[in-house]
Amino acid sequence: MKAQVFRGVNNLSYEEVPVPILEADEVLVQVSVVGLCQSDIKKIRYPLYEPPRIFGHETAGTITAVGSEVKNWQLGQRVAVMHHIPCMRCDYCLNENYSMCDTYKNIVTTAGFAPSGGGFAEYVKIPGHIVRNGGLIPIPDHISFEEASFVEPTNCCLKAVKKAQIAPGQTVLITGAGPIGLMFIMLVKLFGGKAIATDLLPSRIEKALSVGAEAAFDARDADLPGKIQALTNGMGVDVTLLAVPNDKAFFQALDCTRKGGKILFFAEFPDEVEIPLNPNILYRREIDLMGSYSSSYKIQSLAADIVFNRRIDVNALISDRYPLQDLSQAVDQAIAPTPETYKILIYP
């Protein structure tokens, strides 16, 4: 089969690799579409993992082979793939910190080499642990593969919204109106909140308004805190979701978040970034800082319900489509987006 193999930093090789061989409890999925995620881009651009590997994890496709011990799954079924599933037994899982579980982190879908997602290939193997424990999600007949590929990123964003306890009537500042920021806007609106977005690109500011933001501003606006105050009766926002890894965005969040509010880190910052902070700001204003990484097993069915019942319009997030052989060009576009670049989908 064809696959895009990570051979080193910024080195993707479109090459022939063996179709994965199944164990008795495993399933093989032919990949129809896979979303290009910022985490994939970081893995390709920085020396985070030893090559060779095959990345890609926002996967939807069709079951083409099943192991002899597999039950309840048949050839031809259309499925969305969750590439991580926790063990449900360790202390992290018992405290519902599923993304901290070693099994969650270490047992992932694969198209060969060290398991790394495997969606950037024609076929991906689903390990038995994932098959048995809910890592395959049937796609309803009325839902396209493209829509189904959004189940995993929707779960990640939904986890953050749940963790921040965003409630009806609350006002939420979302820094960055790329595909993740736009999804946050949709989810905040779905849960009865009011979204305010910031970005550097005028087109993304307009896009934020078109998908449901109450207001959207240029992130460089020196009067942003004042405008936020005017929209919130002088209070500031209840929650800020940091969807860009930028220290300036964090300090804007401090200026715009009300006393007793919350700031949630969603985007992963470079490891070398350190943010100086006077702890009395948190103490005196009682602001909660929190992080949200990856997806949550607990809300998996809710994420699927949101996508499959079209409670948010994931199609509005798609801007570009590339064949698998052009993955390098897709990554280049994501790194240097045009004004109209949002979610990029890849087609093996």
How do residues 104-136 score in pLDDT, each as one tens digit?
Answer: 999 899 999 999 999 999 999 999 999 999 999
- What does each C-alpha distance from 7 to 91, 114, 237, 255 come to in angstroms? 36, 12, 45, 43
% of the chain beyond a pLDDT of 70: 100
The predicted pLDDT at position 152 comes to: 97
Burial letters 54-70, b for 16+ CB under 10 A, else e: bbbbbbbbbbebbbeeb
The pLDDT value given to residue 96 = 94
CB atoms closer than 10 angstroms to residue 80: 26
Q: Residue 253 corresponds to which tokens in the numbers above?
A: 């969040």
Average of per-residue pLDDT across 285-293: 98
Q: Which two tokens stand for residue 201?
A: 């690109």
Cα gap 206→109, rounded to integer Å: 37
CA distances from 119 to 54, 240, 267 (A): 7, 32, 22
Looking at the DSSP bridge assignments, the partners of residue 347 are: 323
Q: How far apart are the C-alpha atoms of 86 and 105, rounded to whole Å?
A: 8
Q: State mean pLDDT over 272-295.
A: 96
* Residue 278: strand, helix, or coil: coil
Q: Tokens standing for 1?
A: 């089969």
Confidence band of 248 (pLDDT split at 50, 70, 90): very high
Token reading at 98: 């599923």
Give the residue-averaged pLDDT of 52-60.
98
- pLDDT at residue 126, as a whole number: 98
DSSP string across 23-64? PTT-EEEEEEEEE--HHHHHHHHSS-SPSSB----EEEEEEE
* Angle subtended at Cα 294 by Cα 289 and Cα 300, rounded to the nearest 5 degrees: 115
Q: Is 285 exposed, middle or buried (0-12, 13-18, 19+ CB in 10 A)?
A: middle
Give me the half-sphere count of Cα atoms (radius 13 Å) on the Cβ side of residue 114: 9
Buried b (16+ CB within 10 A) or exposed e, 323-345: ebebbbebbebbeebeeebbbbb
Closest CA to 347 of 70, 82, 4: 4
Identity of the residue numbered 319: S
Q: How far apart are CA 200 and CA 252, in angstroms?
A: 14
What contacts 113, CB < 8 A, 6 or more positions away?
Answer: 5, 52, 53, 54
Tokens of 266: 């969603």
Model pLDDT, residue 149: 98
Q: What is the reported pTM?
A: 0.96
pLDDT recorded at residue 36: 98
Give the pLDDT of residue 343. 98
Q: How far apart are CA 219 and CA 199, in angstroms?
A: 5
What's the whole-number average pLDDT of the chain?
Answer: 97
The radius of gyration computed from the CA coordinates of the chain, to the nearest angstrom, equals: 20
pLDDT digits (tens, 9 = 90+) for 225-237: 999 999 999 999 9
